[in-house]
Structure 1
Amino acid sequence: MQDLKKSNYLSIVTAVSLSIGLFLHNETEVEASAPDLAAEAAILVDAETGQVLYSENEDVILPPASMTKIMTEYLVNEAEANGEISWDDEVQLSEKTLQMSQDYDLSNVPLREGETYTAQELYEAMAIYSANGATIALAEHVAGSESEFVDRMNKKAEELGMEEYEFVNSTGLNNASMNGLHPEGTEADAENMMSAEATAILTFHLLNEYPDVLDTASITEKTFKENSANVLMENWNWMLPGSLEEHLDYEGVDGLKTGYTELAGNAFTGTAERNGTRYISVVMRTGSRMARFEETAKLLDYGFEDFSEAEVINEGEVFDEASAFPVIKGKEDTVSASAGESLSLLLEGGETEGITPSVSINEDMLNDEGELEAPLEAGTEIGTVTLEGGSGQEYLLDEAASAQAVPLVLEEDVEKAGWFALTTRSIGGFFGNMWENASNFVKGLF
């Protein structure tokens, strides 16, 4: 009998131990679902909405090296879109540009005096091969001088909502490596600075405003100035399908920009699209050229494998606080409102727990008593529905966050009541008030 009790006791202990073990194991799995990155700073963002899915030291300002060229790409594309320059322009080369392009310790295509180069050719050299001389030539073509271009870079950064940044040249080189050819007005030992978050904001704007940049960024190799310079430009982005390092190929990657200086270490801003979802990733100060791509792959895997789109507001959904709005001067006394559109979020595991809709009414639609006035038309927007609670609702920009809302619209028409009905109600209301006042007076006597 004692052995049986002992056996039952051991069974219970074993069962409890296994339960605790499984709980701890599952808890560890949940905690370990986010990638463990070997990078000093990193961020992963949904390229369509600006929703931040992962961040680590994202606001720490670090040297971005040639990821600086993302801003140069933005400003060149902006200048072309505004008609300031044309891709077919033949770019005049300064002595500074020619000299910089002959420095083979830096990433370059050699530019020669007397040769003609179009803005398109120089742009491709910058975007594919990170050619520094070509980058400076474009900066001078757009703004007249690299110094003026740097001013544009800093002004545009503020305009785009970037907070942690400082641009001192168009290329991302440290000024010290430019052998005295750094932009006028900048320190000889200065270096561009930008946080992972600021880099993601810049890239978010670039991809949404000038999506064609990926047509160039995704080219794995191209000959520069064929039949002349005849330089084979191999893209430094080794995650591109068909790149030099095939084992780093990543499905869906089509951009964007690598970076390296001694101070910056190895950095990479990547972007990839699968099944209609595009991500922007930034990793800074990784251990090696290979590591910047390996850490990027971890980030992108996390986005594509752990997150799924979940519908959190359904079109036509009615909420308690919007189910019966009071109406005056109408054939009906109340009217209901519902979500005019559906809203989806990228959520880890598609988990919607803790996320609740919040209704906000446009006060201009209501009178002083908080009523709507007939006549009213179905579909009229009277407010918005946003989300509260849950996780995964951090956004790069305030305007991106505010865009994650749907209109609250009236579900049906409410016709204005006829004069007779309105008069009857008015009379009824008048006598009703008289009765209430008289009743209150009588009660006051006792």
Structure 2
Amino acid sequence: MKNSKKSLMHVLGVSILLSVSSTSFAELIMDAPGGAGQAALSWSSEDAQQLLNGDVSALVEEVSPQGSTKITTSVRSSNGVVTQSAPKTVQILSNSGYSNQPQVNARAALVMDSQTGEVLYSKNSNAALPIASITKLMTAVVIADARLNMSEEITLKQIDFAGAGGKNSSSTLRAGDSMNRAEALLLALMKSENPAAAALARTFPGGRSAFIATMNAKAKSLGMSSAHYVESTGLDPHNIASARDLGILVSAAYQYGLIRQFSTTPSYDFNLGYRVLKSNNTNALVRNGGWNINISKTGFINEAGRCVVMHTTLNNRPAVVVLLGASSSQARTNDATRLMGWVTQLPKRI
């Protein structure tokens, strides 16, 4: 697409072996990042820019066989030395009944301490509901797991704009637009572009049907007991999950540096060769700053209402926030702000 782009060089390799017990939501097995001698997993904005310019490779993450009960993070440095961090088990505890809990507009909500597993706030969190473009977070996980060439050019086709569930795919993109896979993923996560997410599924090895099967297999392996996917964009209301399922998904997605960086990019100018597409993050809380948000994805279709999932750090507490079915974008933002402000006032469990 761009003559200035180079092929991605494999200068960074990260292997994350990730599996979560499928028995229930009550136990997530996660690794605490960091540790002596371990390379950092997070990317800076400069690193993400280099990826999109074709100067470095994407983080490489792969999934361990099902049945494992821990996440082990191994990092191979430039000299070939592999270091590993110790696995950490996080028990998901029931709502501890904090007083003065805020009221939320959303149909379902969950706030969870992602380090201790304590559920801080819960509203209808077991109800399976349409999740709209929150779907794209699983789309990103499947792409990251597949270890595909992120510099490969993808040209959008008319079928990518067909929508799903009888809905049109409204977009500023056009059939014939060309971008690399990294840019398509960034468009899907940051700007929630449906044709980009559709093209990621279409160009997956085995095509769209293989992609959807992989989405559902991944959900099952993570223990997302009520989750079900029928397509990759979220336009179809038959894509469903509970707030608790999505708490699991956000916790898993946090392990992917690429997803953390791309989902929280405030804005990006996509050079499509013959025009520049100026794009902003769909989450006002990311665009406006003020909160330490590590992962973000919004969603909306009529059946789902306004939705958002986030991984954030509140008063030194890592927390997952899930809101499904808010009545408006402003109500969704207000709910999230109230919940996050409330969490910052809570005593941190020792």
2:234 alignment partner, one of 172, 182, 190: 172
Residue 52 of structure 2 is matched in structure 1 by none
Answering whether residue 211 of structure 2 is matched by residue 154 of structure 1, we say no
Residue 220 of structure 1 is matched in structure 2 by 266
2:348 alignment partner, one of 299, 303, 308: 308
Answering whether residue 312 of structure 2 is matched by residue 238 of structure 1, we say no
Between the aligned partners of 2:144 and 2:232, the Cα distance in structure 1 is 14
For this pair of structures, how many residues does the alignment match? 253
Answering whether residue 253 of structure 2 is matched by residue 206 of structure 1, we say yes
Between the aligned partners of 1:98 and 1:66, the Cα distance in structure 2 is 15
Per the alignment, in what secondary structure is the counterpart of residue 58 of structure 1?
coil
Q: Is the 8 A contact 2:197 2:233 kept in 1?
A: yes
Moved more, 219-228 or 162-171: 219-228
The structure with the largest alpha-carbon Rg is: 1
Aligned residue type for 2:291:
E
Q: Is the 8 A contact 1:121 1:225 kept in 2?
A: no
Q: 1:225 to 1:98 in 2, by over 3 A?
A: farther
Answering whether residue 91 of structure 2 is matched by residue 51 of structure 1, we say no
Between the aligned partners of 1:303 and 1:259, the Cα distance in structure 2 is 23
Residue 277 of structure 1 is matched in structure 2 by 317
Q: 1:309 to 1:228 in 2, by over 3 A?
A: farther
Q: Is the 8 A contact 1:109 1:133 kept in 2?
A: no
Answering whether residue 152 of structure 2 is matched by residue 89 of structure 1, we say yes
Between the aligned partners of 2:127 and 2:196, the Cα distance in structure 1 is 30
Tell me by how many angstroms 1:57 deviates.
0.7
Residue 229 of structure 1 is matched in structure 2 by 275
| TM-score, normalised with respect to structure 1 | 0.53
Indicate the structure with greater helix content.
Answer: 1
Q: Is the 8 A contact 2:157 2:175 kept in 1?
A: no
Tell me by how many angstroms 1:276 deviates.
4.0
Larger RCO (CA within 8 A; separation ≥ 6): 2
Tell me by how many angstroms 1:254 deviates.
4.0
Q: 1:155 to 1:142 in 2, by over 3 A?
A: same
Tell me by how many angstroms 1:92 deviates.
5.0
Structure 2: 5+ residue stretches without partners: 1-96
Structure 1: 5+ residue stretches without partners: 1-29, 175-189, 311-446
Q: Is the 8 A contact 2:314 2:340 kept in 1?
A: no
| TM-score, normalised with respect to structure 2 | 0.67
Answering whether residue 233 of structure 2 is matched by residue 193 of structure 1, we say no
Per the alignment, in what secondary structure is the counterpart of residue 154 of structure 2?
coil
Moved more, 294-303 or 85-94: 85-94
Q: 1:297 to 1:170 in 2, by over 3 A?
A: same
RMSD value over aligned CA atoms?
Answer: 2.5
Between the aligned partners of 2:328 and 2:315, the Cα distance in structure 1 is 31
Aligned residue type for 1:154:
N
Per the alignment, in what secondary structure is the counterpart of residue 238 of structure 2?
coil
Q: 1:98 to 1:272 in 2, by over 3 A?
A: same
Aligned residue type for 1:258:
T
Per the alignment, in what secondary structure is the counterpart of residue 199 of structure 1?
helix
Tell me by how many angstroms 1:227 deviates.
4.5
Tell me by how many angstroms 1:275 deviates.
5.3
Aligned residue type for 1:108:
S
Tell me by how many angstroms 1:164 deviates.
1.2
Q: Is the 8 A contact 1:107 1:130 kept in 2?
A: no
Aligned residue type for 2:310:
G
Residue 132 of structure 1 is matched in structure 2 by 194
Q: Is the 8 A contact 2:184 2:196 kept in 1?
A: yes
Aligned residue type for 2:153:
E
Aligned-pair identity (%) = 26
Q: Is the 8 A contact 2:161 2:194 kept in 1?
A: no
